[in-house]
């Protein structure tokens, strides 16, 4: 491909990309992000490929990232000229021949599409691109529009603007959706100060968890003395239960790269690093390809867009350490050392990587930048609420019907996310709490459902935004066990540098283990609270400083569960194994014997076709019996 150095080059590449996004013939697109592949998208892709070849059709088969609707993956989209884009969920290789039949015949009789996309908003340019031209074909009248789906209605897609739409390996498709135009605008028409001013005006706050104003950080780094500066993208998404950064890096890698180039130009950096978790091989692969392609087109390298500006990006793979999500630890890791954080009174914007001024932002923060540049800081600042502008991507997981990635304007009430978008709790169970902010955050109880979801409100509620994990819990989740889980996580992830975190968190873990094992004592809760204060005050970095949050928030909102464990030696949610018992309901038991066969300790006995019994002395409470019973005859006491 020809190098891109002018706006005309960019437009030409964009035209090619448009033809690829809106082809003349038939195009089938498979969602091949990690979640898609894990649900079998690769098998569906292969089946489609074989079927197309077998029937000698001239269909185009392509890959895309994730639309965020993980609960209906594998997702296959069919695009035909002038017709709405149709999305089929839960596809299997077996359904492929039928799907092809339908495309040929022009109906949707056997496999129903979940929704149709008539047109698409291109958020970067504000344009609308139409799939549907002319009247809607009669056979598609009953297929709902994507905008009518409850899952989508309240979402605003800025960060995930291209995920699930473009082929992440096709830079022309990215350009067709307004990609790299912000870079051209920034480099050719804006001064560094003007860019920074716009980012400040946008109100964009760091999406990695802390929520520090991005523009201010850029300004400090720009003003820091030194000729060599670095920009760093934090893709070490370590919060268990959060995967929005992975999805963006996999599905739209160029948006990360473009944001970083703009930032580097504004700050005066020549080199950039993307630090990606080792657990995300597909993100590494797609980013690597995207960087190579951008480099070959002259979008990375020397004199980008003919400007007197050189910049390139390297990828560094993490090696599995949660603490490396902390900025100073991440920089230590980039230097090839163990990732231990250091005191923050020396600012990384002045003395960061190799002691040089370094500006680190999270993936999501960088991805917002191109949109701010094209649409303006003011436009961005009007989305969300005054002190938390723009959108936030959440991974809505746990005990919720519509599991997936959702992007909502800041300040949306929690209940809108859980019920309208998330579709509520499965199995008619009661919603109990939602955990945000990962191990550094806290649990927000059902009673606070009207809480607006923004940086400050979450902080006041005793949790935090974090990187955006939102784990929904129902009545069957034990909050003491959850606190124990997070503390145990932090025990193994504490780098060990400072004592309050290394030893204090470990002692909290011991106490929580005892409570869950039925060995809790009066005064344990008070002791936990006291230790929490010491750990918070005495730790160097945010990992230790926020480590007690899950314990404190669960004590604050679910004290009665702690009391039940300690005083009554019972686990109300039926989770803590030392405090529960499995029983067989004689009325429901059919005596089929499946559980007895599966039981690893052979503690279930009984005559055929008669109610069975569990020998409590031998039972190890593995729960296999309950899992295998088809008659719901086994209960937890």
Partner 1 sequence: MKKAATMIEAKTKEIIKKHGGDKSSLIAVLQDIQEQYNYLPKDALATVNEEMEIPASRIYEVATFYNTFSLNPRGKYLIEVCAGTACHVQGASRLMDKLQRDLEIECGETTKDNMFSLEEVRCLGCCSLAPVVRIGGDIHPYLTQDKIPKILGNYRKQG
> CB-side exposure of 252: number of CA atoms within 13 Å?
34
Least distance between partner 1 and beta carbon 488 (Å): 9
Cβ neighbour number for residue 225 with a 10 Å cutoff: 6
The CB-of-431 to partner 1 minimum distance in angstroms stands at 13
Nearer to partner 1, 215 or 318 (CB): 318
Q: What is the CA radius of gyration of the chain?
A: 26
Q: Residue 56 Cβ, how far from partner 1 at the closest point, in Å?
A: 33
DSSP letter for each residue of 188-252: HH--HHHHHHHHHHHT-B-TTTT--BHHHHHHHHHHSS-S--EEEEEE---STT--HHHHHHHH-
- Supply the minimum distance, in Å, between the C-beta of residue 243 and partner 1: 4
Say which residues have a Cβ less than 8 Å from residue 336's Cβ, sequence separation at least 6.
none
Q: Which is nearer to partner 1, 304 or 490 (CB)?
A: 490
Closest CB to partner 1 among 177 and 229?
229
Q: Minimum Å distance from CB 35 to partner 1?
A: 5
215 vs 544, beta carbon nearer partner 1 = 544
Q: How many other β-carbons are positioned within 10 Å of the β-carbon of residue 42?
A: 15
Closest distance between partner 1 and the C-beta of residue 246, in Å? 5
- Nearer to partner 1 among residue 87 and residue 374 (C-beta): 87
Cβ-based nearer residue to partner 1, 129 or 502:
502
Q: For the CB of residue 397, give the shortest distance to partner 1 in the complex, in Å.
A: 4
C-beta closer to partner 1: residue 28 or 624? 624
Q: How far is the CB of 355 from partner 1 (least distance, A)?
A: 13
- 251 with 34: CB under 8 angstroms? no
Other C-beta atoms lying within 10 Å of the C-beta of residue 452? 16
Cβ pair 75, 81 in contact under 8 A: no
Q: What sign has the CA pseudo-torsion 93, 98, 99, 101? A: positive
Closer to partner 1 by Cβ: residue 21 or 625? 625
In this complex, which beta carbon is closest to partner 1, that of residue 178 or of residue 398?
Answer: 398
Task: Name the site residues for partner 1 (rule: CB under 8 A).
Answer: 34-35, 37-39, 70-71, 73, 237-243, 246, 277-280, 316-322, 333-339, 395, 397-399, 403-404, 435, 438, 469, 471, 473, 477, 482, 485-486, 489, 493, 495, 598, 600, 622-624, 627-628
CA dihedral for 139, 141, 144, 146, sign (positive or negative):
positive
In the bound state with partner 1, the residue whose beta carbon lies nearer, of 19 and 337, is 337
Cβ-Cβ contacts under 8 Å for 355 (sequence gap 6 or more): none
Torsion from C-alpha of 583, 589, 592, 594, nearest 10 degrees: -30
Pick 33 or 175: Cβ nearer partner 1:
33
- Nearest-approach distance from CB 238 to partner 1, in angstroms: 7
Concatenating the DSSP letter of every residue in 300-340 gives SBSSGGGSS--BEEEEEE--S-GGGGSHHHHHHHHTTS---
What stretch of H or E contains 42?
Answer: helix 41-54
CB of 55 to partner 1, least distance (A): 30
Closest to partner 1 by CB, 306 or 426: 426
Other Cβ atoms closer than 10 A to 476: 15
Task: Give the number of other Cβ atoms within 10 Å of residue 588's Cβ.
Answer: 13
357-395 burial, b at 16+ Cβ within 10 Å, e below that, comes to bbbbbbbbbbbbbbbbbbbebeebbebbbeebbbbbbbb
* Dihedral class, residue 232 (left if φ above 0, else alpha if ψ from -120 to 50, else beta): beta
Give min distance, CB of 100 to partner 1, in A. Answer: 26
Helix, strand, or coil (residue 263): helix
Strand 582-584 versus strand 634-636 pairing type: antiparallel
Q: How far is the CB of 485 from partner 1 (least distance, A)?
A: 5
Q: Checking phi first, is residue 18 left (phi over 0); if not, alpha (psi -120 to 50) or beta?
A: alpha
């Amino acid at each position: 491909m020809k190098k891109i150095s002018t706006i005309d080059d960019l437009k030409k590449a964009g035209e090619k990309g448009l033809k690829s996004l809106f082809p003349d013939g038939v195009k089938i697109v498979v969602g091949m992000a990690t979640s898609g592949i894990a649900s079998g998208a690769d098998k569906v892709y292969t089946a489609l490929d074989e079927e197309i070849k077998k029937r000698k059709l001239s269909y185009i088969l392509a890959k895309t990232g994730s639309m965020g609707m993980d609960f209906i993956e594998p997702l296959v989209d069919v695009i035909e000229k002038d017709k709405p884009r149709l999305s089929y969920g839960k596809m299997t290789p077996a359904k492929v021949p039928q799907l092809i039949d339908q495309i040929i015949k022009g109906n949707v009789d056997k496999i129903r599409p979940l929704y149709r996309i008539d047109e698409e908003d291109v958020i970067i340019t504000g344009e609308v691109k139409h799939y549907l031209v002319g009247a809607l074909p009669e056979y598609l009248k009953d297929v709902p529009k994507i905008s009518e789906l409850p899952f989508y209605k309240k979402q605003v897609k800025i960060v995930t603007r291209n995920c699930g739409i473009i082929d992440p390996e096709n830079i022309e498709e990215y350009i067709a959706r307004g990609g790299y135009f912000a870079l051209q605008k920034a480099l050719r028409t804006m001064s560094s100060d003007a860019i920074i001013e716009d980012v400040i005006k946008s109100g964009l706050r760091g999406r990695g968890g802390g929520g520090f104003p991005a523009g201010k950080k850029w300004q400090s780094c720009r003003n820091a003395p030194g000729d060599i500066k670095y920009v760093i993208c934090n893709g070490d998404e370590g919060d268990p239960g959060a995967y929005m950064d992975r999805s963006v890096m996999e599905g739209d890698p160029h948006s990360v790269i473009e944001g970083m180039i703009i930032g580097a130009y504004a700050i005066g950096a020549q080199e950039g690093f993307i630090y990606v978790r080792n657990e995300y091989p597909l993100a590494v692969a797609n980013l690597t390809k995207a960087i190579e392609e951008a480099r070959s087109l002259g979008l990375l390298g020397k004199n980008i867009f003919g400007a007197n500006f050189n910049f390139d990006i390297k990828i560094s793979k993490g090696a599995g350490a949660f603490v490396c999500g902390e900025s100073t630890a991440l920089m230590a890791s980039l230097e090839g050392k163990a990732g231990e954080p250091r005191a923050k009174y020396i600012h990384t914007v002045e003395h960061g990587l190799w002691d040089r001024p370094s500006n680190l932002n999270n993936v999501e923060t960088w991805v917002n930048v191109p949109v701010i540049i094209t649409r303006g800081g003011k436009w961005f600042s009007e989305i969300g609420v005054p002190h938390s502008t723009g959108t936030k991507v959440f991974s809505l997981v746990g005990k919720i019907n519509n599991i997936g990635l959702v992007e909502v304007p800041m300040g949306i009430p929690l209940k809108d996310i859980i019920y309208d978008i998330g579709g509520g709790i499965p199995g008619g169970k009661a919603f109990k709490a939602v955990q945000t902010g990962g191990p550094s955050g806290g649990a927000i109880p059902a009673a606070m459902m009207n809480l607006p979801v923004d940086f400050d409100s979450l902080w006041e509620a005793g949790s935090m935004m974090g990187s955006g994990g939102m784990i929904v819990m129902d009545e069957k989740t034990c909050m003491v066990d959850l606190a124990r889980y997070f503390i145990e996580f932090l025990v193994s992830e504490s780098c060990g540098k400072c004592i309050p975190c290394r030893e204090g968190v470990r002692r909290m873990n011991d106490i929580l283990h005892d409570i869950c094992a039925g060995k809790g004592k009066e005064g344990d809760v008070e002791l936990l609270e006291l230790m929490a204060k010491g750990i918070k005050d005495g730790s160097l970095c945010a990992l230790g400083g926020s480590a007690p949050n899950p314990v404190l928030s669960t004590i604050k909102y679910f004290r009665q569960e702690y009391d039940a464990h300690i005083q009554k030696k019972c686990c109300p949610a039926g989770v803590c194994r030392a405090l529960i018992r499995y029983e067989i309901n004689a009325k429901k038991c059919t005596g089929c014997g499946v559980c007895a066969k599966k039981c690893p300790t052979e503690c279930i006995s009984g005559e055929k076709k008669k109610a069975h019994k569990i020998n409590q002395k031998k039972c190890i409470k593995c729960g296999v019996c309950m899992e295998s019973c088809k008659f719901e005859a086994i209960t937890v006491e």
